[in-house]
Structure 1
Amino acid sequence: MLVQNMAIPVEIRNTFEEASKIIQDTFSQSDIQSGSQVTPDQLIEAVTQFLFVFDKLDAENGENGAILFDDVNQLGDHAIGFLMDLAYWADRLRLPKSKMDIEKTALGVAHWLIRHEGELRTLEPLVNSLAASANLTQDATTLKALAQVMGDILEHAAPSVKADLEKNDPTRPWRILNFNYAIVATRTQDTDLMAKAFDTLGRNLPEDCPEFFEQGVQQAQKANYAQPVQAMLQEHFNRWATKH
């Protein structure tokens, strides 16, 4: 029997299904009223349908490259939006692991969009998932992989996100993701990766660079990072401090 390729990896699907069941069971046993909100059952059904559509599109168009006859941006954004709503329910039901697992599924959808040259319009669950993964590891190889994913998401963010029109909100996902990309790159102590992440930060959030690199210099000294890493952070701090 041939194994069918799936748009979203099997392990992510299994994670989604397990988390969904826990959320459904917990919601049904709770006394929470959904009111006018979409219920977890409705959200899970919608996401399941999107995953089916993603498989169908991959089978018809290949696993990589632009899909010309469907609005993959809209499909992906709706799927990630529904997953974000489901993560909200998990949080409301006090299911932190299920929330993380739902956000991992959103990251899988983001990978699908990137493979098909789409753009990402909703970043919050992606930022949460990547941050949680980075906080759980010290392994340099894993950190490099996470930094690569962060860079890919920043690159494929929608123009409306890159415009960064909500600069008065310090908690906006675009800002946090740029910071996390630079932080995780620093933790790898790979100066080539750091240079790429720092250039991205300078391009996207120049107004935040002086404070960021000042704190980076301090943290690198506390963590006893290698001398080239400390020197690079100091160089960038000096550069940005003179610009402001």
Structure 2
Amino acid sequence: MSQGNVAIENIGSVISAAIDVLAEANPDDPETGERAHSVRYALVKFVNLAVSVSSDGTQVNIDGDSMPMGSADDIEVVGNQLLRATTGLVADLETAGFLEELKQLHHAVAGLAVSIARFGAKLESLEPVANSFAALADETHEPARLATLGYLIEEALTASSPGVESGIEPAESSRLMHIALGSVSIRSHDTELMECAFDRMAQHMPADLPAFLREAVVEMEQAGHPDEVKAVIRAYHERHIPRTIR
């Protein structure tokens, strides 16, 4: 079994565990049962399809029916369906106070988004992705792990729907992901990632960049960032904020 298949199945296991814990906590609630069925159906479709594609098979069996091996378009449809389904699952775990399961689910949702991107498919359901990456950013502190997280956020943003990439006013979820990428990049002390994050912000959310950079200049002294990190922040501050309005 390939590493890609293992990763997909691990994501599926985490989502299944979240469904199970909610079902056990509310065994007589029809709405919980209905939501669980919806998520599980989307999950089975995605895992079967993704494993088939990554295994270079010719057929995938979903609910007893054979169909041609999926393409990036198929992954896009099924993957975004599953992402949308996880939104209610996250909310239910948070309401029920299942914090450890919620933490694991955030990892799974972020991993799902990156998996969809690596299949060459577009991400259309960015709200759960943005929320999960924001949660992961809050719990991550080591620079090396922050750098890894930042590059994963960048992958997800690159795969986001065409509206963002064409310069149209980005949706709020995309905006939050760009800001999260900028913040994570600074905390990672990875200057290459910082330049990538700041360039993305300049291209896709230029109206937000000046305020972000002003805050970064103030914070960098208080946080005691390395000199090379400060140099990148100052360079972008000089480039994007006219002296007359500083």
| TM-score of the aligned structures, taking structure 2 as reference length | 0.81
Which residue number corresponds to residue 24 of structure 2? Answer: 25
Q: Deviations over 1:153-198 (max 9, x none)?
A: 110001135567667x8xx211110011011111111111111111
Give the 3 Å change call, closer, same or farther, for CA 142–3 of structure 1 in structure 2: closer
Q: Is the CA contact 2:46–2:75 (under 8 Å) kept in the aligned structure 1?
A: no
Deviation, 1:4, is 10
Which residue number corresponds to residue 33 of structure 2? Answer: 41
**Residues 167-178 of structure 1 aligned to structure 2 (within 5 Å):** 172-178=172-178
AA of the residue aligned to 2:182? A
Deviation, 1:67, is 4.2
Which residue number corresponds to residue 59 of structure 2? Answer: none
Q: Match of 2:71, SS?
A: coil
Deviation, 1:136, is 1.8
Deviation, 1:63, is 5.3
Deviation, 1:14, is 3.1
Which residue number corresponds to residue 225 of structure 2? Answer: 225
Structure 1 alignment gaps of length 5 or more: none
Deviation, 1:80, is 0.6
Give the 3 Å change call, closer, same or farther, for CA 92–166 of structure 1 in structure 2: farther
**Residues 123-138 of structure 1 aligned to structure 2 (within 5 Å):** 123-138=126-141
Q: Is the CA contact 1:134–1:146 (under 8 Å) kept in the aligned structure 2?
A: yes
**Residues 179-198 of structure 1 aligned to structure 2 (within 5 Å):** 179-198=179-198
Asked if residue 72 in structure 1 is aligned to residue 75 in structure 2, the reply is: yes
Q: Which protein has the bigger helix share?
A: 2
Greater shift, 5-14 or 122-131, is seen at: 5-14
Give the 3 Å change call, closer, same or farther, for CA 7–96 of structure 1 in structure 2: same
Give the 3 Å change call, closer, same or farther, for CA 166–3 of structure 1 in structure 2: closer
The CA distance in 1 between the partners of 2:120 and 2:45, in whole Å, is 17
Percent identity (aligned): 21
Give the 3 Å change call, closer, same or farther, for CA 70–191 of structure 1 in structure 2: closer
Deviation, 1:90, is 2.2
Question: What CA RMSD, in Å, does the superposition of the two structures yield over aligned residues?
Answer: 2.9
| TM-score of the aligned structures, taking structure 1 as reference length | 0.81
Deviation, 1:5, is 6.7
The CA distance in 1 between the partners of 2:231 and 2:72, in whole Å, is 50
Which residue number corresponds to residue 93 of structure 2? Answer: 90
**Residues 155-166 of structure 1 aligned to structure 2 (within 5 Å):** 155-162=158-165
> 43, 52, 75: which is aligned to 1:51?
43
Which residue number corresponds to residue 16 of structure 1? Answer: 15
**Residues 197-212 of structure 1 aligned to structure 2 (within 5 Å):** 197-212=197-212
Q: Deviations over 1:64-117 (max 9, x none)?
A: 8x9438532221111111111221222333434433333333223213311221
Greater relative contact order, per chain length (Cα 8 Å cut-off, separation 6+): 1
Q: How many residues align?
A: 232
